[in-house]
Amino acid sequence: MRIHSSNHPWFLLAILVVLLSFSGALSSTHKEKTTSKNPKKEVTYDGTSLIINGKRELLYSGSIHYPRSTPDMWPKVIKRAKQGGLNTIQTYVFWNVHEPVQGKFNFSGRADLVKFVKLIEKNGMYVTLRPGPFIQAEWNHGGLPYWLREVPGIFFRTDNKPFKEHTERYVKVILDKMKQEKLFASQGGPIILGQIENEYSAVERAYKEDGVNYIKWAAKLVDSMNLGIPWVMCKQNNAPDPMINACNGRHCGDTFPGPNKKNKPSLWTENWTTQFRVFGDPPAHRSVEDIAYSVARFFSKNGSHVNYYMYHGGTNFGRTSAHYVTTRYYDDAPLDEFGLEREPKYGHLKLLHNALNLCKKALLWGHSRTEKPGKDTEIRYYEQPGTKVCAAFLANNNTEAAETIKFKGKEYVIPPRSISILPDCKTVVYSTAEVISQHTSRNYVKSKKANKKFDFKVFTETIPSELKGESFIPVELYGLTEDVTDYGWYTTNFKTDDNDLKKKGGKTTLRIASLGHALHVWLNGEYLGNGHGSHEEKSFIFQKQVSLKEGENHLTMLGVLTGFPVRNIDDSGSYLEHRYTGPRSVSILGLSSGPLDLTEKNKWGNKVGMEGEKLGIHAEKGLKKVKWQKFSAKAPGLTWYQTRFDAPESKSSVAIRMNGMGKGLIWVNGEGVGRYWMSFLSPLKNPTQVEYHIPRSFLKPKKNLLVIFEEEPNVKPELIDFVIINRDTVCSYIGENYTPSVRHWTKKNDKVQTITDDVFLTANLKCSGTKKIAAVEFASFGNPNGTCGNFTLGSCNAPASKQVIEKYCLGKSECDIPVNKSTFQQDKKDSCPKVVKMLAVQVKCGRTKKNKESGI
């Protein structure tokens, strides 16, 4: 147990260490007697950490959501997570994935939760399970199934009998399934931790006392099942015992008030590795230096568990994303959408985990002390009484300048806004600000096999002018569609006479106020255009000057969903069952007789979805149910496009680039690839997402069926192409004064030792798989500028830089280059002696002829 004091008698600490042997007195224990082939794991906790089988653990976890990748991807993604230094995988459980129809559960394909958990177990890792019921996660309806809204008298996430009954039934189905498969740690399985509810404090006040009662009920529900694991509630500082309150955010080392009881550990359930993106967003990025700093700070302040949300974001296939959220999810995570290592984020965090592991004994058993040598500097260190065990974290919170810290008789220069880690209180083995891991740049290579001339055929939907209906207001869109489609039709008729149209100099305007998300409008058969809102705006106005005819006029609207909103910016999902989407107010302005309100005075007819959807023409079985026409140069909106293509060469990941298209949905061989929205431009005047992932498991060798439903007119499908994804552009960007890699160090008998005789700084470059370094595209030892894929020379450069890199690296799958003057300044002349040198290298990896032929 960590004892926090600036001046505490050693003998008291020794007494506490002895008392720790009586774990029942100092920890909250969860046990279950069961028989299992695997040894049972008792999971307990105290104020320092989780304790698994009597052993304290530092837990490095990453969120990977099984429905956001395919079963054939799971083994590689999980393996790469483990190689990145993780020992735990965290996942939500998605209620609307498992029970889309009330009482009918699905655990197959991407919903095979048991298979996913067992793959994690096979890799020797732990699991944190988050069954909801509400998960948020930028997932449609927050993971709640649509049918739940139709339950009489229901109010979500509060002390409401119908909601609690259905929640209890669902939660027990999921947890009983895990129990039957013996997947809980108490049964010898990998699940060591659970989470019930999600960020509930954001909505609790909206429900007042009912919110307090509900959260107590949720805690009691999972605790009463006696599953032998601890449970957490994230962003819930008043989490009732024995729930552990945990932190979500970017800087929990500074924002988390700490556990609400002294016998609970500090757990970080979501460290956001980037910002999820919505259509209309510019690129988003969170630097790995900032992530590493936040993790080091949290562990230096009594933290023992961090979870990266997300570690692999994956893909929102089909219609699964929440409103406006892109199909690509958390692509800037350590493993990108395709499961490839995004460097340096992946590598720099891996080295951080190595450094923290060297500090493990001190962190878990040491006596904590804190010093403030300066305004912006801080020293946090841990020592174990009567031993040489010691670990220190030297922090510089000055964002602009390096600071010198004197610690135990030695001076250390700490870069701006960084933490240096000393696992023996002497040797710096890691700096959060000094990235020595390689960098990669993602490449999209146009496929030769897939991009033969496409023979597009089209089928265009019929625009209804008059539909049956008895409603005197436009019905709510999500309720109309019942979440089986993104599309809902609205029609109404209204009359105008000669007197209405005689206003001199006046302009007649159609005005529609909608609560999301997009809208297409026709008047008397003429397409007027479309409008849409955004993730931030709760509503939008469609307004256009129109020409009315004397007599009866026909108005047709197509309401379009882009996922159901799971929260407003400020409330994370309260009263979700009452959220309204679709057209809210419709009026004609500029008539001689005054404004004509069509919202509550006209009968509205409705129709759900597209004919093509009902007939299933996105898949082979339904393809022949409509008459397809050969595509010419142009087509109206609401048109289906279909063509065939061969699978791209190699075994690399595949994407389709939707250049030339507007907005719609994509299917390949009947599998939903996702929503695309090319016409919604970011402030940089570019689409937020261009490439859309097609998993290899969706493909067959030849004649794959591509079907696209396009909402907008006059698009150019001939500009679509298929690309193969790689990260064969590998770089390094390292300063000559950086700390050598923590890989040089190990710990034996409580002493930090070097693995090699000589510790020096190197730049490591490594190709993936069987590829080798085929070319050196850039090299400069001096003051180069730019980033991986875009380096340029500065005013200072060692002329032999490229020659040196070629000598060390060409033809090799991996190489280490010493980063020092003697390596690059072979004539021993330094043309810029006052410049601290940086080494920038960019190489290209490729396959040998043999590997190309085999597709490896």
Q: Which residue in the block uniquely carries the two structure tokens 């962190």?
A: 363
H helix runs in 470-551, sequence order:
477-481
Q: Which residue in the block uniquely carries the two structure tokens 């880690």?
A: 421
Helix (H) / strand (E) containing 780: strand 772-782
Cβ count within 10 A of residue 386: 10
Q: Which two tokens stand for residue 839?
A: 């080494």
In the annotation, is 712 catalytic? no
Half-sphere exposure of 692 (CA within 13 A, CB side): 30
The alpha carbon dihedral of 21, 22, 27, 30 has a sign of: positive
* 3 state DSSP class of 361: helix
Residues 6+ apart with CB under 8 A from 291: 271, 273, 308, 345, 349
Contact yes or no for 645/721 (Cβ under 8 A): no
Catalytic residue among 99, 121, 199, 343: 199
Q: How far apart are CA 50 and CA 364, in angstroms?
A: 10
Q: How far is CA 460 from CA 117, 529, 612, in A?
A: 44, 17, 9
Helix (H) / strand (E) containing 119: helix 113-122
Contact yes or no for 600/473 (Cβ under 8 A): yes
Measured between alpha carbons, how far apart are the two ends of the chain, in Å? Answer: 50
Q: How far apart are CA 415 and CA 434, in angstroms?
A: 8
Q: Which residues pair with 368 in a beta bridge?
A: 4, 382
Catalytic residue among 57, 99, 197, 270: 270
In 157-314, the DSSP E strands lie at: 191-196, 231-234, 244-249, 266-272, 303-312
Helix (H) / strand (E) containing 61: strand 59-64
Task: Please state the length of the chain.
Answer: 856
Contact yes or no for 374/403 (Cβ under 8 A): yes
Q: How far apart are CA 592 and CA 143, in angstroms?
A: 50
The alpha carbon dihedral of 738, 742, 746, 747 has a sign of: positive
Q: How far apart are CA 405 and CA 413, in angstroms?
A: 6
* 3 state DSSP class of 786: coil
Q: What 3 state SS string does 601-660 have? A: CCCEEEEECCHHHHHCCCCHHHHHHCCCEECCCCCCCCEEEEEEECCCCCCCEEEEECCC
- Strand 191-196 to 231-234 pairing: parallel
Cβ count within 10 A of residue 682: 15
Burial group, residue 573, by CB count within 10 angstroms (0-12, 13-18, 19+): buried
Contact yes or no for 252/303 (Cβ under 8 A): yes
Output the CA angle 210-213-219, nearest 5 degrees.
140
In the annotation, is 482 catalytic? no
Amino acid code (one letter) for 768? S
Cβ count within 10 A of residue 547: 10
Amino acid code (one letter) for 566? V
Residues with catalytic roles: 199, 270
